[in-house]
Structure 1
Amino acid sequence: MKMLTGLAMALASAVALPVAAQTPPPPPPPEAKTQAMPYVMASGMSDLYEINSSQIALQKSQNPAVKRFASMMIKEHNKTTAKTMAAAKKAGLTPTPPMLDTGATASINELQAAAPGDFDRIYLAQQLPAHQAALDLQQSYAANGDQAALRANAKAAAPIVKRHVEMVSKLQGGNMAGQAM
């Protein structure tokens, strides 16, 4: 009986602990690094995740630096989406509007459910791998993509995403609390 009581108490305490998992959106499929339509869809989904997650950050974060970063993410990822769609049309494609897959949706749901004290940590923990995957996508397509207009788009987007990776790293380190972006 003591063993069952101890097991039940251990299980109850394990369940009561806050979930520390951060669910970054999944990386794009390998074909997105070389093929036009998968690239357009993956790039659009990446931007849409950044926009949606950052809109949540504007509502939930109490950190002015995180809010500035989120505001910039919305602005810059709206621009990169528009440029990617224009490049896709120039390449003769007719892409559908970006949509989130189940993995990115899970990331958004995790942010929506995050407790106020955990939000910034979870948001930034998602942002770093999401931006690293986006940077890999942009750099890979710029080097190996099958459509010139989209290669040029990816080449232009890569430094923007690289800057975002650097900013997230600094935010995670707490180095940007008082700095303007």
Structure 2
Amino acid sequence: MKHLLISTSLLVAAIAAPAVGSTPAVEAQASRTPTKAAQFVPMAASSDMYEIESSRLALERSQSPAIKQFAQMMIDHHTMTTQQVTQAAQASGMTPPPPALLPPHRTLLDKLQPAQGRDFDRMYLDQQRTAHRQALALHQTYSRRGDKEPLRQAAAGAVPIVQQHIDQLKTLSPT
């Protein structure tokens, strides 16, 4: 439990930075991700859940067909990566907790909730850029140094997916 609290604190520090742009401090925090399965699994689940829930909002609120298409892809891909991490956790002998938003992801979603129109699109894209950089650091680190082989493989499989999202985000702008 102490390790989960420390890991959550690192995630809070990384996400609490401004959603626009990235700073060396944010990247440094994000790169200090857990290498223990008991910490990685809830963090990966929260990251995926945030991507799914924020993207559901984008499907409802965005006026941009490109952003809506991206949002649907987020829902599809992050649903898949959640299933893969869950299966890998089970293969590692774990009983993964049900996916839940950790406080920093809940905060991001709460900030996004009231936004409308172009402001929504801008905030959604900014949050997605930051969240994906952090997710990339999480999965890269665990894939290299994680303590459970099935989870390392799942994390390694998520890396190109998250990188694809980062690359696609570079092409999107608020309408």
Q: TM-score range by the shorter chain?
A: 0.7 to 0.9
Query: Match for residue 129 of structure 2?
Result: 128
Alignment of structure 1 residues 79-90 onto 2, 5 Å: 79-90=80-91
Larger Rg: 1
Aligned length: 152
Opposite residue 82 of structure 2, the aligned amino acid is T
* Overall identity of the aligned pairs, in %: 41
Query: Match for residue 56 of structure 1?
Result: 57
- Cα shift at 1:113: 0.6
Query: Match for residue 9 of structure 1?
Result: none
Say whether 1:42 aligns with 2:43.
Answer: yes
- Cα shift at 1:104: 1.1
Query: Match for residue 166 of structure 1?
Result: 167
CA distance in structure 2 between the partners assigned to 1:22 and 1:40 by the alignment: 23
Alignment of structure 1 residues 1-181 onto 2, 5 Å: 22=19, 30=32, 32=34, 34-172=35-173
CA distance in structure 2 between the partners assigned to 1:135 and 1:22 by the alignment: 16
Opposite residue 79 of structure 2, the aligned amino acid is N
The answer to whether the 8 A contact 2:67-2:172 is kept is: yes
User: Over aligned residue pairs, what C-alpha RMSD do you find?
Assistant: 2.1
Distance 1:108 1:40, change over 3 A: same
- Cα shift at 1:153: 0.6
CA distance in structure 2 between the partners assigned to 1:88 and 1:95 by the alignment: 6
Distance 1:31 1:164, change over 3 A: closer
CA distance in structure 1 between the partners assigned to 2:148 and 2:61 by the alignment: 40
CA distance in structure 1 between the partners assigned to 2:51 and 2:152 by the alignment: 21
Distance 1:120 1:31, change over 3 A: closer
The answer to whether the 8 A contact 2:19-2:130 is kept is: no
Structure 2 unmatched ranges of 5 or more: 1-17
CA distance in structure 1 between the partners assigned to 2:96 and 2:44 by the alignment: 11
The answer to whether the 8 A contact 1:51-1:74 is kept is: yes
CA distance in structure 1 between the partners assigned to 2:124 and 2:92 by the alignment: 35
> Structure 2 length normalisation: TM-score?
0.81
The answer to whether the 8 A contact 1:83-1:153 is kept is: yes
Distance 1:44 1:23, change over 3 A: farther
- Cα shift at 1:62: 0.2
- Cα shift at 1:22: 4.4
Opposite residue 49 of structure 2, the aligned amino acid is L
